[in-house]
Every structure is written in C-alpha cells, then in structure tokens.
Structure 1
C-alpha cells in the first residue's frame, strides 16, 4: 500500500509535465489589455502581439489582403490567433495555412508585408516564426493559444465588427 501511495504523486507529476510542454521557438511578451486608441499605432513586434489597439476588432476569418494591425491586435485580445505570411509565399503553402485554420472560429489569416520569416503566428503575448507552412509547431501554437489563457478578454466576440483590409 505504501508503494501505491508513493507512485500516485509521481504519476500526477508526469501528467502535469506533459500538459505544460512549451513549443520550441515561441517568444513571449507581456502586455495589459483594454488600451483602446484611435489612428495608426506603432508596435514593438512585427506582427504585433499586444498593446494599444483600435476599439473595434477585426472579424476573424481568412483574408487575401493585409490587415490593419490595430484591429487584429484587438481580436487577439479576445483570444484570436493571427497567422500571417509573406505576400510572395508559394500558393501551395498558403493553401496549407488555410487548411490549418479551417473550422476554427478564433483565427485570422492574412498576408503581411516585411516578415523576417515566411510565416508568423501570433497570439496575445506570444509569437512563433517559421520557414514553412507545414511546420508542426503551427498547429501546436494554435491549439495552445486560440482562446488561450494569455488573452485578456478571452471569449469576447471575433465577429460583427471590422471586416475591411488595407
């Protein structure tokens, strides 16, 4: 009986460790939510991962033109994940990204000028940049951060607001 008692905490510890696995290459940042401003804003990261943003959020969905940072950041505050790619990314890779977000209601997908890697995936306070659309870390990031704990207003709407592009 003593052996069983000693093994149970070890099993719990092992299960906890599996659930808290980090995704290699993810950078994290600290931003407070709720800072609504008007006009064009400057962000420390590209694409941005938090900070001041427009009072309207970007409607979640797939876009073939770049989005305004200020609206997309508000969507991330609501728990959305913003998947961006270089405008010259091969169409087959863009199609892979579309499949990745298909059926997910809190995602944005759009081209983004000036990326230092072909693909970037961002959530409130977190970002990962990769070379290929088939990188398995993209799905892991989506699974962890879409409606994830880092979003200050997780669960707030991701539709019914701003739907325009640049």
Structure 2
C-alpha cells in the first residue's frame, strides 16, 4: 500500500509578527506625515521671510558702512580692540561661532570670524517675546557654513536689536522684522572669506 504524502501547510505568522508589521507601517506613516508637516512649515516660514524682505527694502538705506579693519588671525586667547561696537571686521580668533540662537554672550573675536565667513550676527537684549521668536526662527532657517545667522545676547541694548555683516551694521529700536529680513537677505553669504551669494 502506498504511503500517503503529507502536504505541508504554509507556516502561519505568529500574532506578534502581525503586530510588529502593523507598528512598523504606522511608524513609517507617522514619519512621512511628520516630514510633510515639517516641510510645509519650513516653506511657510521661508515665504513669510521673503515677504518681509520685500517690505523691508527701504530700511537698507539706513545701513551703516564702516572701513574694513583687516582679517588677521589672532593667537588663541588674544583679545582685539575694534572701532565699532559691536565689531563689523578686524582681527579675530581662529575659531568662530556657528550659526544658531545663543542665550550666553560670545567673544567678539569669534563673532568677527563668523562675519568673515559670511554669517549675519544679530545682537539682542530684551526686544520682547515676538522678536525673540522671530530671531530663533531665522537662526534655525539659515544654518549654512558660509551664509548662516548667529543670534547672541548683548547686555545694555534694551529693546534694540543690532544686525551686523562684514563692514555693515543696522540698529533697530524697536525691532523691525521687515528691516531685519531685508538686511539678512542683502548681506548673508557675502563675507570676504568665501562668498557664496
């Protein structure tokens, strides 16, 4: 008598495998949705910035220009004396301050090196919560190595905000986001070390 062959049934997935697969799909959808939301918010912030740039163009007539004080590198720890306060050019530290929003003061010698890179350095003290939020947003938008925004505190400014670029300065009291956006757009990425715009 011939033996009857057993047919193999396909292995059934254990319930925990189905659960893990479902969680993986849910996580993927969450990531994709979050990325889409983030991109939309970034585009909206950039569009708002560009609109402010257009409105702020007349303020560029108030930008002060200063003589170039040189680009010499100091020895580590060496201090410099600048003709402008805050400085807009001159001897500087071999180190720089990366783009971002800071809550502690940074050495002027490092900030001048940031200007040489093409960054905009913005000084604030107590301009109000709306101005702080705007400055935080811009510091997060412009983070390139040669065209970023550095926002740092400077005691004694009160409600004023001062924007600097290499040999350029704009004092705003009170803070005017349209004028500030126009300044950032006009001078960001145009430092003498490696201009990218």
Alignment pair present for 1:147 and 2:189: yes
> Unaligned 5+ residue runs, structure 2?
1-56
Match for 1:99 among 137, 144, 165?
137
Aligned-pair Cα RMSD in Å: 2.3
Write out per-residue CA displacement over residues 25-44 of structure 1, whole angstroms, 9 at most, x where no aligned residue: 10001215430113222211
CA contact (8 A) 2:71 2:89 kept: no
Write out per-residue CA displacement over residues 83-120 of structure 1, whole angstroms, 9 at most, x where no aligned residue: 1112x332232112222333102110011123386100
CA contact (8 A) 1:94 1:133 kept: no
CA contact (8 A) 1:119 1:131 kept: yes
For residue 35 of structure 2, what is the aligned residue in structure 1?
none
Aligned length: 134
TM-score, structure 1 as length reference: 0.72
Q: What pairs up with 1:5-24 in 2 under 5 angstroms?
A: 23-24=60-61
In structure 2, what is the Cα distance between the partners aligned to 1:24 and 1:125? 15
**In proportion to residue count, which structure has more helix?**
2
Alpha-carbon spacing, 1:117–1:95, altered in 2? closer, same or farther (3 Å)? closer
Match for 2:90 among 35, 43, 51?
51
Greater RCO (CA < 8 Å, at least 6 residues apart) = 1
In structure 2, what is the Cα distance between the partners aligned to 1:22 and 1:154? 26
> Unaligned 5+ residue runs, structure 1?
1-19, 157-166
